[in-house]
Amino acid sequence: MATSKEFVDFVIGQITNAGDITARSMFGEYGIFSDKKIFGLICDNKLFVKPTEAGRKYIGNVVEAPPYEGAKNSFLIEEKLEDSEWLSELVRITLKELPEPRKRKKK
């Protein structure tokens, strides 16, 4: 099942005060970015957030699953998806722990 644009728009709309949140089509699904830093994926109308220690502590009872076959496990966010404040805080916490994107060399 492919992800609907409506679901992507809903997820982006739920995340506030965490930078410029955008989605980019990737691998037939979507990468979710804050100011060019990828922090999650949306696959099959499900939100997956990159795992971090701070995120694990914040979530508490973590559900992990691979976003697609062969991928590493990520945090699967389902139950709290409609809680904008909670989701936004998780994204802010996650972004602090993720490394800055690598600068691409100009050709």
pTM of the model: 0.91
**pLDDT of residue 63 exceeding 80:** yes
Q: How far apart are CA 10 and CA 13, in angstroms?
A: 5
Give pLDDT, residue 44.
95
Query: Could you give all domains of the chain from N- to C-terminal order, each with its CATH number?
Result: 5-97 (3.30.1460.30)
Give pLDDT, residue 26.
87
Q: Please give the mean pLDDT across all residues of the chain.
A: 93
Q: What's the pLDDT tens digit per position in 34-53?
A: 998 999 999 999 999 999 99
69 burial via Cβ count (<10 Å: 0-12, 13-18, 19+)? exposed
Give pLDDT, residue 1.
62
**pLDDT of residue 105 exceeding 80:** no
